[in-house]
Structure 1
């Protein structure tokens, strides 16, 4: 029996710390929710910033909320080349030793020494989903994509929490490479 789950493509975005939010948008500023994202409590904001690297700039990078402990910029491999930084594939939150950049907002700018990652492909699962799929938090699985550009994604991290909603995340380049779109069903292979 195939064990299918939905996939979602993630475009470049930034998560801001409260301190950095205040420098970029003004003291006491609160993010403006544009729309909810699939993961409970996460949302896309109206706010955008520019990311300036050694070789180029990404203009209008969407801010995602809520604020986090550390500022983190998630880009594609092509975006990293545009900025002129080494593309470092990491799990979200693992920013030690990653490249930094200048971030420009409407009220100010900051220079971060680290925080740019190419997000590693991963699956969010609720605890009941993990039971159904027979996996545990931090397991590594493969995902099969059918279709004319079908392929198998290896090294997919499973993240399990009672706060998560079932969904696999890949960056937009990975999704485009195999021809999937948001909400397509893909197959988990243990």
Structure 2
């Protein structure tokens, strides 16, 4: 007699618990994280992790895919392209901070995500925001938009992984203030 199959809703909850646990563990421990650590964080047996994700690579790829989807949805909802650049940066930072551990993992493991999708859905909206800010004189022009984008991502990862952790509002305010103080154009604004 074969084992009864879990219900789809249960499967989705278990998969989500594994992904949440894995994002937390990989963000905290990086390459040193084990599948045992993931299972413990998810509250499931190690065999259950392997039932859903047959390899560590499969788990990391799914985490990266899910994180890109989450980042894209949050950046789109934040409407960073519809407000002044400084407000767009604040909204973008909040969106990325809300992704949390999954964003840390995505930033570190971006090669596991679809590179074209990562560029289109994560990098491009931020880069365009900086370019728009540079065009109107709000953002300094002596640093290329690609470097500003990578700097912001690095700052977000650094604050998300800092100890002791800050609340999301404090993280967002700290990152936005630090970044804008360095990226803000000096001198009069263009018209």
TM-score normalised by the chain length of structure 1: 0.30
Which gives a bigger RCO, structure 1 or 2 (Cα 8 Å, sep 6+)? Answer: 1
Structure with a larger share of its residues in strand: 1
Structure having the larger proportion of residues in helix: 2
